[in-house]
Every structure is written in structure tokens, then in C-alpha cells.
């Protein structure tokens, strides 16, 4: 019997050894078959996943971002213990004990596969999930599973648990373009991962299994269920007490981010200029994946004011042309008024906002609208600008219109509003720092979504009377003075071959006779400017203009004096900055510094000065342009009570309206017009169309400052009291006198 037992034991041992050898052979075969085909995990030594390139403004605020994956790299110590435990409880609570593979989980998953004939969830460890995301595809094949296991073991042998966990938290996707726990924390709760509360950490950990499907922005019920599941798991494994878990489950989910605004910016035209410039230098991969830091001088607060001011100004002009029939009717698209949804309605709506709304009904005097949960009413005052008295003449049920909210009652979900519409007219705004040339503000049009064409940098438009300062600069540099007498009388110049004679006219079709150069510029008289250009020589004036940086074609014709030639808003703004900057033109630029993700400086740009005109000439012309604001065509801006100068510009058919103005620190320019050249409307001059927008922006620039900067005169500038009308010298303080600036030797009574 004993011999029989020994024989059985020996045979069993042989079988076990055979099975062990077979198993080792199979493993060796698998390793041999797949080992040579595995990626090199040593690449993780320099783990550098795609991260966000951020563009910053002058005060450190984020202007915008470039990214394929919206990721913010975080260190292990910056992941709060609460979030660590939430991730572990939800995904792999034995992570710090296993060697990369969880045998109990694998066995349970295999049993479920056999019994339920479906893939079981929860079998993969954190390391396996990381391996799959970094090196493999999510395919349901045994070869992939074998490779995953082999790579997982290699990763576990090469890296510490803390390193693996950190890579996992930086790599995983959390929906809405957010990769990694830091980007997810900012997206959902507008805070860092190290500051998350228990219920917030549980919600983020719960999203891992379902990505967007369990986002609170997509399915709040699903998000709450996964959060509560994670809290229960945290209690089960002892990471939190059951009492704390139950208390956290009772708290509502309060999100503070907005996925619709993740990639938005209040300066899209500026951001696009930066993108084009840097992509040309560094390539798309470097820009979108390598987490560059880009410093600019953009003033975001002033940019926001400029956006609003331009929007308001364009709508004001657009209203003069009446109401246009709405382009979209949701009923015609087979939507019901009560169930139609618009993406804008997912964000808060407050007084002053202009929001899309669907017409629900009309009666004899009111329009009823729906904007999400809001019931909006527009009375006759709200559509009086349309010059229609019956709402049925304007809209019908189902029309999608714009409403400017006047009052909002959150308790009753009701509001009152004004009827509005997207303006057909376009415009642009640009501001440059006088001393550096840095771009402070850029608005390239009414809406970047409607048109990517940047009217601040790409549109060549006739500049109208904004060209006249270049004519008078040529004169001042040649010895003429603000008191030089010019003739505002009818004149006719012979036309060229086959062209009729040229007889310039003033805006008011009147003539004032002999007037000073100052008066001619302040009142933007056309005839004296053309006569003066003829006297100076068109070729000489054009040559001077080139010094200011204008590169577009400038034919040496007399009509160029009145702005018949074209230029961009950027060129004109840079040119005007010469006057307050003592004759020096600073090359405009947007990017100050670029650093890589390690902090290495890739480029650092500095101001590039170019001498344009003499400092004394620049000061005299600057002083002349101050008079345009104090007494001339831009007198509306005098109410700002600030050291400013500038010039209006209007084309003869009112198709282009300009105002370019400056103080000692910045030059700010506004252009208004249609993309397809046509009149803005009768009387829509630079003073009427562009100047009000400029004033609104300049008010914000001035703010509550009480100590204004000063225009410092060069040493050879002298001041003399002269009669405003005749230009003759007078006693200080005499009636009708002004304090005039002269280059030494050109003042009244001097010999030069």
C-alpha cells in the first residue's frame, strides 16, 4: 500500500513538473513571441505628455491657449491625499500592494467572462490602464492583453509606485478636452487638484470610467451616481469613515467651470495673430503639444472694454439702417418653440447680456420670447428703433432673434428686453504702446466666429482725412509753422492725360478764405490740404509718409492728401504713435517672450526703434493734433479732460470712418465700415461713427487716475501766445489767444 502511494506521488510529481515545464515553456514562448515587438518603456524616463501652450497678457492673466490635449502637468505631492484615495478606491484600491497585475481581479473577471459571456469591468490595474493609454490600442484581442501584461510588469520594475500613479493622474482623460486631474479640477471646479474637497475629488475620480458620459455637464444623474459609488468604495476600503462618506453624498454637485469657455478667449483676433507667427517659427507640434509659455503685452481689461465698445458702436450704426428679417426660424426646422435648445442658454444670463431668443408669440404691442427658462417680454419701447409699430411687421413665431436683457427676475424666470440684431457693419480697434510698439488691444471685427478676417491687420482701407497730418508734417519739417496762412478758396488743378480737371471741395461745401495751418487741420479743411500738397510736391509728401511705416501703394496724386490711398489700421496706428513718441516709430510686435516647459527661453523680443522725423517736428504736429480734440472735429473727446490728440478720418462717400488718437503712453485707433465698400449712411463721419467708440475705450484707459502723464517738449521748442484766428503774436491771456508751440527760430517775430 505504501509502495502504491509512493508510486502515485511520484507520478503526480512528474505530471506537475511536466505541467510546470509546459507553463514555463508557454510563458517563454509568449515572451519570445511578443517581447521583441514591445515598445521601449525607457521612453517614460523622459515622460513629457502633450500639454497646453498658454498665452499671457501684461498682468499675468491668460489670453488664450493652444492644445491638442488640454493637460496641466502636476507632481505627486500636489495631488491631495483625498484625491489620491478617491482614484484608488474607484479604480484600484490594492495599487500599492500588487506588482502591476491583480491576480484575484483577473480570476474574477475571467469567471464573469465565462458565466455572463461579456467583458467584465474592473480587472485592469492603474498600471495596466496607463500602459494601454501610453503604448497600446483599446482593442479586444489576446495579443493586446499579453503585451499589456508584459509591459505592465516592466513598468512596475522600472518605476516607483508614486511615479506610476503620477503618470496615470497626468495621462487620463476626464472629458471636454481635459487630460489629467489638474485640468479636470480646473474644468469642473475652477480650483487646483490639491484643493479639492472630498465630494469634489470623488466626482472627478468617478468620471474616469465613463469620461464625458459621466460628466456633470452632460449627465448630472450619472455623475452623482459615480461620485456616490466612489464615496462608498472609499468607506469600504477604509479611506474615509462611513459617516463622512454619507455626509459627502448628501452635498449637491456645484460646478464652477464651463466647458464651452475652455478654449474661448476675449481676444481671438490677437490670439490668431500670435498663433500664425509662432507656428511659422516653431511648427505646429511644438506649439500645440510642448507646453510653451508665451508672454505678451495685451491688456485684457482694456481688451474687454474695447470688445464691448465696438459691439455697442456697431449696433448703434446698424440700427440706423432698420431691422432685418431674422435669418432663422426654428419652426421651419421642425423644432418646437418650447423644446428648442440653444448652447448659449446653458450659461448664466444677466442684465445687459445680448442673448439669442425664440419668438413665442406677438400681440398688438409686445413680443413674447423664450430664452432657455426665461420668459422675455419686449414692449414698444424695446423695438422703437425699428420704426415699426406692430410687432407682426417685424417677427413671427419661431424666429430666432437677439434680445438685450434689461431686467431679469431669477425667481419668476421672467425678463424684459430690447430687440436687437447682429450688425452688418464691421469695425476694428488697435492700441499700441508708444514707447515700445507692443500691442495692447486688438479687435479685428464684430465676431471672430462670423469672420476670421482681421480688419486690424489685413484690411487695406481708404484713410480719408486721417492722412492730412502727414502733409502738415512735411510742411513743419520744411519751416512752416502752425500760424502759416493757407488759402481756403476755390481752386482747380489740371487733370492728367484723359482725366478731367480736379476741383477739391470741403466737407461743408463752403470756403473760409485765409486761415492758419492749425485751423485748417483742426477743422479738417480739404481745399487747403490739397493746395498745400501741390505746393510741397506730392512726391515729397509721399516720401515723408514712408518714414512713418506705411507700405501700401501711395501714388503721388493730389487726391492722396484727402486719403484716397489705402492703409491698414496697424500701419496707421503705428504711424500716429510717432507724434507722441518724439519722432521715433517703434516697430509693432505682439510676442514679448517664449519659454519652453522647462523654463528655457526660446526667444525674447525687445523694442525696435526707427527714427521717422525730428523730435521738434513731431512735437509741433502732436500739439496741432491736440487742437483737433480741443476745438476741432474731435471736440467730443475734450470731455475726457486728459492730454490727448488725434485726427478723424472720413472718405468722401462715408464708406470708411476713422479716429486715431493718443496720449503720452498709448495710441488707440478705431475704424468702422462695411467689408464690401458702401456708405455707412449720411453724416457717418469719423467723428460720428468711430470717435464715440474711441472715447468709451479711452475712458477705461484713463480710469480714475488723477495725475495725467505729460507730453514733454524737446529743448528747442518755444511757446508763444498767438491770436487763434490770425496767428499773430498777442499778450498772454488775451481774448481769443492760444499758447502755440514753435520750433525755435520759427516763432512770430524771430529771424530764421
Q: What pLDDT, on the 0 to 100 scale, is given for residue 143?
A: 56
Helix intervals (H) in 251-350:
268-282, 284-289, 300-319
Question: How big is the chain, counted in residues?
Answer: 752
pLDDT at 37 over 70: no
pLDDT at 645 over 80: yes
Q: Please indicate, yes or no, whether residues 140 and 9 belong to a single structural domain of this protein.
A: no
The dihedral built from the CA positions of residue 281, 285, 291 and 297, taken in this order, carries a sign that is positive
pLDDT in tens, 436-450: 999 999 999 999 999
Q: Please indicate, yes or no, whether residues 92 and 21 belong to a single structural domain of this protein.
A: no
Q: What pLDDT, on the 0 to 100 scale, is given for residue 32?
A: 43
Question: Residue 685 falls within a domain, yes or no?
Answer: no
Instruction: Indicate if 685 belongs to the active site.
Output: no
Exposed/middle/buried for residue 121 (C-beta within 10 Å: 0-12, 13-18, 19+): exposed
Distance CA 222, CA 243 (A): 23
Q: Please indicate, yes or no, whether residues 100 and 195 belong to a single structural domain of this protein.
A: yes
> DSSP letter at 365?
S
At 99, the pLDDT band (50, 70, 90 cuts) reads confident
Residue 580 CB partners (closer than 8 Å, separation 6+) = 434, 618, 622, 645, 662, 663, 664, 667, 711
pLDDT in tens, 161-189: 998 999 999 989 888 888 899 999 998 99
Distance CA 468, CA 526 (A): 9
Q: What pLDDT, on the 0 to 100 scale, is given for residue 214?
A: 80
Q: Please indicate, yes or no, whether residues 102 and 243 belong to a single structural domain of this protein.
A: yes
Distance CA 292, CA 600 (A): 10
Q: Please indicate, yes or no, whether residues 239 and 334 belong to a single structural domain of this protein.
A: no
Q: Which grid coordinates are listed for 57?
A: 497678457
Q: How remote is the C-alpha of 178 from its chain's centroid? A: 20
Phi, psi of 170 (to 5 degrees): -85, -20
- Domain span including residue 537: 468-566
Give the residue from 313, 566, 568 showing the smallest Cα distance to 427.
313
Instruction: Indicate if 91 belongs to the active site.
Output: yes
Q: What pLDDT, on the 0 to 100 scale, is given for residue 34?
A: 45
pLDDT in tens, 611-627: 999 999 999 999 999 99
Residue 726 CB partners (closer than 8 Å, separation 6+) = 516
pLDDT at 749 over 80: no
pLDDT top residue among 455 and 90 = 455
Phi and psi based region of residue 82 (left: phi greater than 0; alpha: psi -120 to 50; beta: remaining):
alpha
Q: Of 256, 288, 312, which marks where a domain is finished?
A: 256
Q: Please indicate, yes or no, whether residues 149 and 242 belong to a single structural domain of this protein.
A: yes
pLDDT in tens, 109-134: 555 554 554 444 446 888 888 888 87
pLDDT in tens, 274-296: 999 999 999 999 999 899 999 99
pLDDT top residue among 583 and 98 = 583
Q: What pLDDT, on the 0 to 100 scale, is given for residue 463?
A: 96
List of long-range contacts for 273-282, beta carbons under 8 Å, 24+ apart = 273/442, 273/454, 273/457, 273/590, 274/55, 274/590, 274/591, 275/66, 277/590, 277/591, 278/591, 278/594, 281/603, 282/594, 282/602
Greatest Cα pair distance in the chain? 143
**Mean pLDDT across the stretch 508-528?**
96
Q: Of 215, 237, 256, which marks where a domain is finished?
A: 256
pLDDT at 36 over 80: no
At 634, the pLDDT band (50, 70, 90 cuts) reads very high
At 135, the pLDDT band (50, 70, 90 cuts) reads confident
**Mean pLDDT across the stretch 85-110?**
77
Q: What pLDDT, on the 0 to 100 scale, is given for residue 343?
A: 87
Helix intervals (H) in 364-512:
468-477
- Residues of the chain with pLDDT > 90, as a percent, come to 70
Distance CA 357, CA 400 (A): 6
**Active-site choice (465, 524, 590, 685):** 465
Q: Please indicate, yes or no, whether residues 227 and 161 belong to a single structural domain of this protein.
A: yes
Question: Residue 27 falls within a domain, yes or no?
Answer: yes
Q: Please indicate, yes or no, whether residues 235 and 109 belong to a single structural domain of this protein.
A: yes
Q: Please indicate, yes or no, whether residues 144 and 241 belong to a single structural domain of this protein.
A: yes
pLDDT at 15 over 50: no
Distance CA 213, CA 464 (A): 57
**Active-site choice (80, 91, 571, 590):** 91
| 137-163: burial string, b at 16+ Cβ within 10 Å, e else | eeeeeeeebebbbbbbebbbeebebee
Q: CA end-to-end span of the chain, whole Å?
A: 139
Distance CA 503, CA 530 (A): 10
Q: Which grid coordinates are listed for 163?
A: 511615479
**Do residues 184 and 69 lie in contact, with contact meaning Cβ atoms separated by under 8 Å?**
no
Q: What pLDDT, on the 0 to 100 scale, is given for residue 121?
A: 44
pLDDT in tens, 451-503: 999 999 999 999 999 999 999 999 999 999 999 999 999 999 987 777 889 99
- Please count the structural domains in the chain: 5
Q: What pLDDT, on the 0 to 100 scale, is given for residue 118?
A: 45
pLDDT at 595 over 70: yes
Q: What pLDDT, on the 0 to 100 scale, is given for residue 156?
A: 85
**Do residues 571 and 459 lie in contact, with contact meaning Cβ atoms separated by under 8 Å?**
no
Per DSSP, which regions of 497-637 are E strands? 513-516, 566-567, 584-586, 591-595, 601-604, 609-611
Q: What pLDDT, on the 0 to 100 scale, is given for residue 177?
A: 82
At 669, the pLDDT band (50, 70, 90 cuts) reads very high
Helix intervals (H) in 290-398:
300-319
Q: What pLDDT, on the 0 to 100 scale, is given for residue 140?
A: 53
Q: Please indicate, yes or no, whether residues 102 and 222 belong to a single structural domain of this protein.
A: yes
Q: Please indicate, yes or no, whether residues 33 and 83 belong to a single structural domain of this protein.
A: no
Question: Residue 312 falls within a domain, yes or no?
Answer: no
- Which residue bears the cell 464652477? 256
Q: What pLDDT, on the 0 to 100 scale, is given for residue 64?
A: 93
Q: What pLDDT, on the 0 to 100 scale, is given for residue 245?
A: 94
Q: What pLDDT, on the 0 to 100 scale, is given for residue 721?
A: 95
CATH of the domain at 405: 2.40.50.140
pTM: 0.85
Question: Residue 306 falls within a domain, yes or no?
Answer: no
Question: Residue 357 falls within a domain, yes or no?
Answer: yes
Q: Which grid coordinates are listed for 650?
A: 472720413
**Do residues 557 and 538 lie in contact, with contact meaning Cβ atoms separated by under 8 Å?**
yes
pLDDT at 564 over 90: no
Q: What pLDDT, on the 0 to 100 scale, is given for residue 569?
A: 98
Question: Residue 690 falls within a domain, yes or no?
Answer: no
Phi, psi of 332 (to 5 degrees): -70, -20
Give the residue from 437, 430, 427 showing the smallest Cα distance to 668.
430
Question: Residue 583 falls within a domain, yes or no?
Answer: no
pLDDT at 578 over 50: yes
pLDDT in tens, 337-390: 999 999 899 888 999 999 999 999 999 999 999 999 999 999 999 999 999 999
Q: Please indicate, yes or no, whether residues 232 and 144 belong to a single structural domain of this protein.
A: yes
CATH of the domain at 481: 3.40.710.10
pLDDT at 524 over 80: yes
Beta partners for residue 441, in sequence order: 431
Q: Of 566, 582, 604, which marks where a domain is finished?
A: 566
- Residues of the chain with pLDDT > 70, as a percent, come to 88
At 515, the pLDDT band (50, 70, 90 cuts) reads very high
Amino acid at each position: 500500500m505504501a509502495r502504491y502511494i509512493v508510486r502515485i506521488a511520484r507520478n503526480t510529481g512528474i505530471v506537475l513538473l511536466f505541467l510546470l515545464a509546459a507553463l514555463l515553456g508557454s510563458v517563454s514562448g509568449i515572451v519570445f513571441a511578443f517581447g521583441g515587438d514591445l515598445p521601449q518603456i525607457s521612453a517614460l524616463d523622459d515622460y513629457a505628455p502633450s500639454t497646453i501652450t498658454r498665452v499671457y497678457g501684461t498682468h499675468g492673466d491668460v489670453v488664450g491657449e493652444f492644445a491638442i490635449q488640454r493637460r496641466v502637468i502636476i507632481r505627486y505631492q500636489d495631488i491631495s491625499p483625498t484625491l489620491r484615495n478617491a482614484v484608488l478606491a474607484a479604480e484600484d484600491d490594492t495599487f500599492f500592494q500588487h506588482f502591476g497585475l491583480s491576480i484575484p481581479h483577473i480570476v474574477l473577471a475571467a469567471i464573469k467572462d465565462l458565466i455572463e459571456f461579456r467583458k467584465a469591468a474592473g480587472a485592469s490595474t492603474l498600471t495596466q490602464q496607463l500602459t494601454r493609454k501610453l503604448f497600446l490600442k483599446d482593442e479586444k484581442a489576446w495579443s493586446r492583453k499579453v503585451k499589456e501584461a508584459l509591459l505592465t510588469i516592466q513598468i512596475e520594475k522600472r518605476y516607483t509606485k508614486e511615479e506610476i500613479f503620477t503618470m496615470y493622474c497626468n495621462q487620463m482623460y476626464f472629458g471636454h478636452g481635459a487630460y489629467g486631474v489638474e485640468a479636470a479640477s480646473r474644468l469642473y471646479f475652477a480650483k487646483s487638484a490639491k484643493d479639492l474637497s472630498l465630494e469634489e475629488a470623488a466626482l472627478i475620480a468617478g468620471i474616469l470610467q465613463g469620461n464625458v458620459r459621466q460628466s456633470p455637464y452632460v449627465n448630472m444623474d450619472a455623475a452623482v451616481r459615480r461620485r456616490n459609488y466612489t464615496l462608498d468604495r472609499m468607506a469600504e476600503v477604509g479611506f474615509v469613515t462611513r459617516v463622512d462618506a454619507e455626509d459627502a453624498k448628501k452635498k449637491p454637485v456645484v460646478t464652477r467651470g464651463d466647458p464651452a469657455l475652455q478654449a474661448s478667449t476675449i481676444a481671438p483676433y490677437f490670439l490668431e495673430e500670435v498663433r500664425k507667427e509662432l507656428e511659422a517659427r516653431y511648427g505646429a507640434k511644438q506649439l500645440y503639444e510642448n507646453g510653451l509659455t508665451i508672454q505678451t503685452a495685451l491688456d485684457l481689461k482694456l481688451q474687454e472694454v474695447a470688445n464691448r465698445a465696438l459691439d455697442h458702436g456697431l449696433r448703434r450704426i446698424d440700427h440706423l439702417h432698420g431691422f432685418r428679417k431674422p435669418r432663422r426660424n426654428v419652426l421651419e426646422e421642425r423644432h418646437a418653440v418650447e423644446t428648442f435648445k440653444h448652447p448659449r442658454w446653458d450659461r448664466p444670463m444677466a442684465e445687459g447680456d445680448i442673448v439669442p431668443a425664440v419668438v413665442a408669440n406677438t400681440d398688438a404691442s409686445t413680443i413674447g420670447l423664450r430664452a432657455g427658462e426665461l420668459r422675455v417680454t419686449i414692449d414698444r419701447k424695446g423695438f422703437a428703433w425699428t420704426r415699426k409699430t406692430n410687432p407682426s411687421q417685424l417677427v413671427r413665431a419661431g424666429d430666432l432673434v437677439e434680445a438685450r436683457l434689461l431686467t431679469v427676475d431669477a425667481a419668476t424666470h421672467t425678463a424684459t428686453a430690447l430687440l436687437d440684431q447682429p450688425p452688418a457693419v464691421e469695425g476694428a480697434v488697435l492700441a499700441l504702446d508708444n514707447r515700445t510698439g507692443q500691442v495692447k488691444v486688438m479687435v479685428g471685427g464684430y465676431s471672430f466666429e462670423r469672420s476670421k478676417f482681421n480688419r486690424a491687420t489685413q484690411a487695406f482701407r481708404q484713410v480719408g482725412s486721417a492722412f492730412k497730418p502727414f502733409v502738415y508734417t512735411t510742411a513743419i519739417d520744411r519751416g512752416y509753422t502752425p500760424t502759416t496762412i493757407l488759402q481756403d478758396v476755390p481752386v482747380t488743378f489740371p487733370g492728367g492725360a484723359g482725366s478731367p480737371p480736379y476741383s477739391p471741395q470741403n466737407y461743408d461745401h463752403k470756403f473760409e478764405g485765409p486761415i492758419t495751418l492749425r485751423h485748417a487741420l483742426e477743422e479738417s479743411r480739404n481745399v487747403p490740404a490739397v493746395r498745400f500738397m501741390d505746393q510741397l510736391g506730392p512726391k515729397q509728401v509721399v516720401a515723408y509718409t514712408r518714414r512713418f511705416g506705411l507700405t501700401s501703394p501711395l501714388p503721388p496724386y493730389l487726391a492722396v492728401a484727402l486719403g484716397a490711398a489705402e492703409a491698414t489700421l496697424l500701419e496707421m496706428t503705428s504711424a500716429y504713435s510717432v507724434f507722441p513718441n518724439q519722432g521715433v516709430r517703434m516697430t509693432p510686435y505682439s510676442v514679448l517672450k517664449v519659454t519652453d516647459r522647462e523654463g528655457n527661453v526660446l526667444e525674447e523680443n525687445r523694442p525696435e526703434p526707427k527714427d521717422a522725423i525730428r523730435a521738434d517736428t513731431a512735437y509741433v504736429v502732436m500739439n496741432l493734433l491736440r487742437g483737433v480734440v480741443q476745438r476741432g472735429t474731435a471736440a467730443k473727446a475734450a470731455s475726457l479732460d486728459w492730454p490727448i490728440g488725434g485726427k478723424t478720418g472720413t472718405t468722401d462717400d462715408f464708406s470708411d470712418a476713422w479716429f486715431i488718437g493718443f496720449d503720452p503712453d498709448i495710441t488707440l485707433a478705431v475704424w468702422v465700415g462695411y467689408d464690401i465698400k458702401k456708405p455707412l449712411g449720411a453724416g457717418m463721419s469719423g467723428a460720428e461713427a468711430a470717435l464715440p467708440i474711441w472715447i468709451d475705450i479711452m475712458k477705461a484707459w484713463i480710469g480714475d487716475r488723477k495725475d495725467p502723464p505729460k507730453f514733454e517738449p524737446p529743448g528747442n521748442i518755444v511757446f508763444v501766445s498767438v491770436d487763434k484766428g490770425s496767428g499773430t503774436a498777442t499778450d498772454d491771456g488775451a481774448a481769443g489767444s492760444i499758447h502755440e508751440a514753435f520750433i525755435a527760430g520759427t516763432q512770430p517775430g524771430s529771424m530764421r
